[in-house]
Amino acid sequence: MARCDDTLLSLDLRHQIFVVTGGTNGIGWETTKQLLKQGAIVLMGCRDLSIGRSRRSSLFPSSMASNLHCYSLDLSDLSSVVSFSNSVSHFVRSNLSTCTALLNNAGIMDPPHSVTSQHIESQFGVNHLSHFLLSYLLIRKGVLSGGRIVSVSSRAAMRARSFPSSHRSPCFSTPIHSLYCQSKLAQVFFTQDLHSFLCSSSSRLPMPSSHPLFGVMREHFPSSVVSLHPGVINSRILRHWNPLFRFFYSFLLAPLFLKSSWEGAQTSLHCLLSPSLVSGAYYSGCSVSSSVSSTSLDSSLQRSIISRSSSLISPFL
């Protein structure tokens, strides 16, 4: 099983700032603990602040706890994403610094059909759109200048074949797991789209005025952006499954086929820390993966989803 190189896990990260969503559980918590162990400052977005504070109080030594800062973040409400970005920006600016990396880690899988506070299909809204907005808010505020954006997608993205005509509904006609696959493919599209602007001058790659990067100074741009598949993890992301199937999957199959949260965090850590990150790439097993679907290479579909996403977040920029 691939593991993040020990040299990366022993780097001195003192005075470096990392932003993590979904950091209170699963691979997010394992990633957060490792960053703190290496001396990093972590700004963690928490759906439930009491859990974040409990996590912080469990850390030892106290220097690790003092470097963990918890903020409220409800990814099902884009207004909460704006508030979180303001908190991050204030912290970073008050420390006269920039963020080393943003880890878009939080996600939900196969919940009942539902919508977010903005009446957007919940998996598209939480897994993709909220992180799409957060990433561009932090870029526009200049706090990710020269940093990197790492989005936890999934191999399930490769099973997506199409998208609903609109995400402003629970999308009852689309199977729940198909919606999950689509949300993860949207994260891959975000990575590919942003990378295209990072590696091209504005004169060579025209930018639509509706794009979230339009008018943003290039010195505010991050240096790299990637997406990744962490592996099939035995974690709370399975909480919406049928209890009987979840028991069978988690307790009977897990010892044979599923990764632990620490094992699942390895590719995230590699992408956050590796000096040789390949921007625009899709990572799996701590290396660039060639496992892509024809849909993920569909430039027309990518433009459509990025355009839709840009329109949905425009009132919050």
Kindly give, in sequence order, each residue whose CB lies less than 8 Å from that of residue 224, ignoring residues fewer than 6 positions away. Answer: 148, 149, 195, 198, 277, 278, 279, 280
DSSP bridge partners of 269: none
Catalytic choice (180, 249, 282, 283):
180
Cβ-based burial of 87 (10 A; exposed 0-12, middle 13-18, buried ≥19): middle
CB–CB of 96/261 below 8 Å? no
Rg (C-alpha) for the chain, rounded Å, is 18
Q: Is 180 a catalytic residue?
A: yes
State the catalytic residues.
180
